[in-house]
Homo-oligomer: A and B are copies of this chain.
Amino acid sequence: MTETRLLREQGVTAPAGFRAAGIAAGIKASGNPDLALVFNEGPDYAGAGVFTSNQVKAAPVRWSQQVLKGGRLRAVILNSGGANACTGPGGFQDTHTTAEAVAAALSQWGTETGAVEVAVCSTGLIGDRLPMDKVLAGVTEIVHEMAGGLVGGDEAARAIMTTDTVPKQVALHHKDNWTLGGMAKGAGMLAPSLATMLVVLTTDAKADAATLDQALRAATKLTFDRLDIDGSCSTNDTVLLLSSGASEITPSPEELEAAVLAACDDLCAQLQADAEGVTKRVTITVAGAGCDDDALVAARCIARDSLVKTALFGSDPNWGRVLAAVGMVPFTIDPDAITVSFNGSAVFSDGAPMPGAREVDLSGADINVVVELNQGSGQAMVRTTDLSHAYVEENSAYSS
């Protein structure tokens, strides 16, 4: 291989040393695939994870946080069809039981595995206990299926979908002959501190848990943390990175970090493009803030504003709503120093509208909003979407 390539196929099984599977275990009433397994064949078993910052954390998040303390990860079991959040001690026990069942099945198959090496991820409706009879039967079946020799990345990516309309996968083939792969799900309840999403990244590069952790935190901070579809942060957000070391190549920490960032960025764009009810892919860039953190706060203020988002749904260059939103930032700004542009056309400058500001064409699917505060060099970009009828429709009839 002479150059690094980024593809959208194979996903978690693109790197050497990983197998995966996805099956329909009957957790979803629809009968669609709902159980996925990612398995690290080694020789290394390093792992890292980042999790939701929501104080209301689902049972699988609390379990997987404990698992990751060891820095060692053999397998990840993921289910859609139920978040197992707000389900009390019984819900936590269900997660524990699931991890034990995965470890037992893998051990039976000849790979001695402990429950503390198995991360668990769940997504779906908050508040219902999982149908454990189906989950446990599914665990037996999925390990059997994976043992059959399938690579299964595609199937795993499909099995974690909820309101997603397409599976999201990425594979970055590094020119130095190692690979980083990944899959993601997430369509709504997408907000900072990770979207409502589950992401599993795998690599055959050799890297210890600390190096993986550093690369993962740096990448998620710039990608998933800056994807804000509806300002709602999930109880179940999980991003995991597993290394098999099977390539026997040890990239520099910088190379690894760049690869993880590129993969996360690509998955992020896929999540944005498939967000609930999306008709516009919107990027909000705030520049000229006192620092990057201020810029990020301002970009989020705009990205979360319902009036900005409904205007963009209507392809309406209603820049006044952008100004009104940015006027609520918790640091001092000078309104007269701000410039605003839509898709490269300046619409507001020197405290007043620019000629033609109401005629900017926003009819396309991609809208870039740039706000220059002119008070420093801080900059940040947040990805969001419009607020459409389809978003309301999808979210007004989810649980019932």
Interface of A with B (CB < 8 Å)?
53-57, 83, 85-91, 125-128, 188-189, 230-235, 304-307, 310-311, 313-321, 323-329, 332-333, 335-336, 348, 350-353, 357-358, 387-389, 391-393, 395-400
Q: Lowest 5 CB-CB distances: which A-B pairs, in order? A: A126-B320, A88-B352, A314-B396, A56-B327, A310-B395
A232 x B306 contact (CB < 8 A): yes
Find out whether the CB atom of A55 lies under 8 angstroms from the CB atom of B329. Answer: yes
> Chain B residues with Cβ under 8 A from A310's Cβ?
391-392, 395-396
Q: Can you show 9 pairs from A to B with CB atoms below 8 A apart?
A: A55-B329, A88-B336, A188-B307, A189-B324, A310-B391, A311-B395, A316-B398, A388-B396, A392-B392
Chain B positions within 8 Å of A352 at CB level = 86-91
Q: What residues of chain B lie closer than 8 Å to A315, measured between beta carbons? A: 400
Nearest to A333 among chain B residues (CB) is B55
Closest partner residue, chain B, to A83 (CB atom): B320
User: What B residues does A317 contact at CB under 8 A?
Assistant: 399-400
Q: Which residues of B contact A83 (CB under 8 A)?
A: 320
Residue pair A56, B335 in contact (C-beta under 8 Å): yes
- Among B128, B393, B398, the residue within 8 A (CB) of A389 is B393
In the complex, the count of this chain's copies comes to: 2
Instruction: Identify A316's interface contact among B86, B323, B350, B396, CB under 8 A.
Output: B396
- B residues less than 8 Å from A319 (CB atoms): 126-127
Separation of A399 and B400 alpha carbons in the complex (Å): 36
Are B399 and A350 in touch, CB under 8 angstroms?
Answer: no
* A interface majority secondary structure: loop
On whether the beta carbons of A86 and B397 are closer than 8 Å, the reply is no
Instruction: Report which of B327, B353, B388, B397 forms a contact with A54, defined as CB distance below 8 A.
Output: B327
B86 near A318: Cβ-Cβ < 8 Å: no
Contacts A306-B306, A310-B395 hold; do A85 and B127 have CB atoms under 8 A apart?
A: no
Q: A86-B320, A126-B320, A128-B353 are in contact. List 12 more A-B contacts (CB 8 A).
A: A56-B326, A86-B348, A88-B351, A125-B318, A126-B318, A126-B321, A127-B320, A127-B357, A232-B325, A313-B392, A318-B398, A391-B392
Q: In this complex, what residue of B is CB-closest to A315? A: B400
Cα distance A239–B311 when bound, in Å? 27
A391 CB, min distance to chain B CBs, angstroms: 7
* Contact across chains for A311 and B232 when beta carbons are under 8 A apart: no
Distance in angstroms between the alpha carbons of A87 and B336 in the assembled complex: 10
Q: Are B189 and A233 in contact (CB under 8 A)?
A: no
Choice from B89, B127, B230, B396 contacting A313 with Cβ under 8 Å: B396
Chain B residues closer than 8 Å to A87, beta-carbon distance: 351-353
Q: Chain B residues with Cβ under 8 A from A335's Cβ?
A: 55-57, 86
With A310-B391, A389-B392, A396-B311 known as contacts, the answer to whether A54 contacts B328 (CB < 8 A) is yes
